[in-house]
Amino acid sequence: MTNDQRTASLKDASLRVTAPRLATIAVVEEQPHATAEAVATEVRDRLGSVSKQAIYDVLNALTDAGILRRVAVDGRGAQYEVETGDNHHHIVCSSCGRLEDVPCPVGEAPCMVPPEGDHGFAIERAEVTFRGLCADCQSTETNQPGHK
């Protein structure tokens, strides 16, 4: 996304265009699944003095506006990605916590058969998290002494 596109997305969401907001979107584009702490560090490196609380406020505003998506897995801290509306899911390593995008196996929302007894909801999407061992952790586990 170009800076002009970032600016347009902020304006479309009725948000003021500020340097911290533009920098935050850019950082999350470059580092998908970054934690708030990692985003704050990178934004401060780019802009200088920006408080951690200001970055948290920016992340919340951008998430509320649908520009970013907050991903929280297994009670760990939130990680952020640009909201693209592509209906993808995530796979997380059960050892190291690495998080990756995976495309929706069905190709369209909600990506699952809605449960029986949908409680009167019109289901729009399902968020699926797959779990397993990433290649690096599989390799490490295989190379451990005593591994069979």
Report the pLDDT averaged over residues 13-39: 96
* Residue labelled with tokens 């304006």: 11
pLDDT tens sequence across 37-74: 999 999 999 999 899 999 999 999 999 999 999 998 87
Report the half-sphere exposure of 107 (CA within 13 A, side-chain side): 0
Angle, helix 36-47 to helix 19-30, in steps of 10 degrees? 120
Ordered by start, the domain boundaries in the chain are 3-80, 86-142
**Residue 112's pLDDT is what?**
72
d(CA 74, CA 92): 10
CATH 3.40.50.970 describes domain 3-80: no
Q: For residue 84, what pLDDT band results from cuts at 50, 70 and 90?
A: confident
Specify which residues 34 forms β-bridges with.
80
Question: For position 25, what pLDDT does the model report?
Answer: 98
Q: Say what the pLDDT of residue 144 is.
A: 66
pLDDT of residue 75: 74
Q: What are phi and psi of 82, to 5 degrees?
A: -70, 135
Helices (H), 77-134: none
| Residues 6 or more apart whose Cβ sits within 8 Å of residue 22 | 3, 6, 7, 10
Q: Is 34 exposed, middle or buried (0-12, 13-18, 19+ CB in 10 A)?
A: buried
Give the mean model confidence (pLDDT) for residues 89-109: 85
pLDDT range class, residue 146, cuts 50, 70, 90: low
What residues contact residue 140 under an 8 Å CB cut-off, 6+ apart?
95
Contact yes or no for 27/42 (Cβ under 8 A): yes
Name which residue leads in pLDDT, 130 or 114. 130
Threshold 0.85, pTM exceeds = no
Class at the top of the CATH hierarchy for domain 86-142: alpha beta
